[in-house]
Amino acid sequence: MRSFGRGYTAKEWARLAMKFGLIATDAKVWSSVNRQLRQGANDVNDVIRRKFDETTGRLNSARVELRTHSDWLARVTSLLAGVGIGMGVGMLLAPTSGDEMRAALRDKLTDVKNNVGDIAARATRAARPSADFKSTGTIGD
């Protein structure tokens, strides 16, 4: 038995190289390595295919669940009901009287209506061709 720290002679190195050469050129060894590599690749392929199929199945079932259970009408109705309840509670707990609150709401709505009217008027003015535009294609004169 050889010790770990002992140096090898040139003859021993030559024998080791010849043994390795014989093993490396043996057709049975190469076919065995090839067969093992092919089997390993097939195993990896099977695992990947199985995981892909599981993931695809989960995604399809989730898509079906989302399509069948997307009750957007109930959610929108709940949102609008919550907004209405919030406005009602806000009016009840407001520090002003009902008449003052209605007047303030009326003023706010009038302001919003006027702002929307102004924006619409500006948009229609911008969309209309300018009166200064002449047939020559120049502006003003």
Q: pLDDT tens, 23-53?
A: 888 888 888 888 999 999 999 999 999 999 9
pLDDT tens track for 99-123:
887 888 888 889 989 998 888 888 8
- Is position 135 within any domain? no
Q: Are 84 and 91 in contact (CB under 8 A)?
A: no
Q: How many domains does the chain have?
A: 2
- Is position 138 within any domain? no
Q: How far is CA 140 from CA 91, 124, 126, 131, 134, in A?
A: 55, 21, 17, 9, 8
Residue 94 DSSP SS3: coil
Assess whether 89 and 64 both reside in one domain: no
- Is position 65 within any domain? yes
Percent residues over pLDDT 90 in the chain: 18
Instruction: Specify the higher pLDDT residue, 82 or 98.
Output: 82
Mean of pLDDT values over 55-62: 89
What range defines the domain where residue 95 resides?
72-130
> In the listed set 24, 48, 70, which residue is the last one of a domain according to the structure?
70
Interatomic CA distance for residues 46 and 57, integer angstroms: 16
